[in-house]
Amino acid sequence: MGSVHQFKRQGDHQDMSRPNGPGTGEGADLDPSVRIGLLKAMMLSRTLERACCELNPRWFPAEGEEGVIAGAFFGLRDDDTMAPHYRGPFLAYAIRGADLSRLVGQALGKANGYARGRALGFTGPAAMGIVPWVAGDLGTTIGVATGCALGFSYEGSDRVTVCSFGDGTTNRGDFHEALNLASVWKLPIVYVCQHNQYSISLHASEVLPIEQISVRASGYGMPGLTVDGNDVFAVHSAVRDAVAR
């Protein structure tokens, strides 16, 4: 798995919206091996999601969001931190080498799951540099992920955190507080919004006064960019450039 370029310590927000925003390119500069790896990651994510949905009717599906998930997390260094959204988190764990059967067991609350049925279904193994979901409340992982970036800043290292979440979570106080802190202290974190147009059952038009969530980044003095979430190469290029920035 190739490494993402190194970066300066600066907070970034990337809004991976679906069809509305201007794209950032087709990733023409990506190495063929990276392109193949991204496509394999998307296929793995789709397979995992279908299995979990088929076996657990209460699963939060992420089918159709594979481009954002794979594009955001594929290629990060092993010492970087991932903080995946509760939709599609298993790909992040799989990228780090988690056992697929145990991940599915986790989704079903089985004894062979990593938490042996004692934690939320979309968590995975500890000690993989991945922020786990330990509460049902939205937005809590954003604060933890930003705290990881703060730790990297204190260390003076070139490690980075990539944190993903849904469009509904951007209305939570955790989101705004984290972005403000990351911008003021120039923390090495990239925020990725999986904008699927719905906050559970409410359409984005009912809860958001804006079409592109990325414009909220300007309120905190950080760059914001919207790309087509179905274009995995564009997503990966955008996150790579944000990490390098």
CATH of residue 201's domain is 3.40.50.970
For 115, other C-beta atoms within 10 Å of its C-beta total: 18
Residue 3 lies in a domain: no
Residue 6 lies in a domain: no
Cα separations (Å) of 215 from 21, 84, 153, 196, 219? 11, 22, 26, 17, 8
**Residue 204: closest CA among 52, 59, 21:** 21
Residue 72 lies in a domain: yes
- What confidence tier does 239 reach under pLDDT thresholds 50, 70, 90? very high
Residue 203 lies in a domain: yes
Three-state SS letters, 137-153: CCCHHHHHHHHHHHHHH
Residue 4 lies in a domain: no
Give this prediction's pTM: 0.86
**Is pLDDT at 189 greater than 80 in this prediction?**
yes
- What confidence tier does 127 reach under pLDDT thresholds 50, 70, 90? confident
| 88-122: pLDDT as tens digits | 999 999 999 999 999 999 999 999 999 888 877 88
| 19-63: pLDDT as tens digits | 333 444 556 688 899 999 999 999 999 999 999 999 998 888 889
Residue 7 lies in a domain: no
Residue 32 lies in a domain: yes
Could you give the number of structural domains in the chain?
A: 1
Which range marks the domain in which residue 171 is found?
12-244
**Residue 87: closest CA among 118, 56, 113, 62:** 62
Residue 1 lies in a domain: no
